[in-house]
Amino acid sequence: MTLTRRATLAGLASLTLLSAPSLLLARSKFKDRDPINFGRSGPSTFPVHGIDAARFQGQMNWKQIHRQGIKFAWLKATEGGDLLDPEFKQNWRAAKRARLPVGAYHFYYFCTDPDTQAKNFIKNVPRLRGGMPPVLDLEWNPFSPTCTLRPPAAEVRRVANRFIKIVERHYQTSVVVYTTPDFWERNGVARLKRDFWLRSTAQHVAKRYRVKSWLFWQYTATGVLDGIEKEVDLNCFNGSEAQWKQWRKTRAVH
Q: Give the residue numbers marked as catalytic.
A: 52, 137, 139
Q: CB under 8 Å, gap of 24 or more: what pairs does 157-161 form?
A: 157/187, 157/188, 157/189, 157/191, 157/192, 159/108, 159/110, 159/113, 159/114, 160/108, 160/114, 160/136, 160/192, 161/192
The continuous run of DSSP H or E covering 51 comes out as: strand 49-53
Give the integer Cα–Cα distance in Å for 178 and 72: 15
Instruction: Identify the CA nearest to 57 among candidates 224, 243, 241.
Output: 224
| CB-CB contact of 208 with 217 (8 Å) | no
**Chain center to CA of 37:** 21
**Nearest to residue 87, comparing CAs of 143, 95, 214?**
95
DSSP 8-class letter at 157: H
236: Cβ–Cβ under 8 A, 6 or more apart, which residues? 43, 46, 48, 49, 50, 216, 217, 219
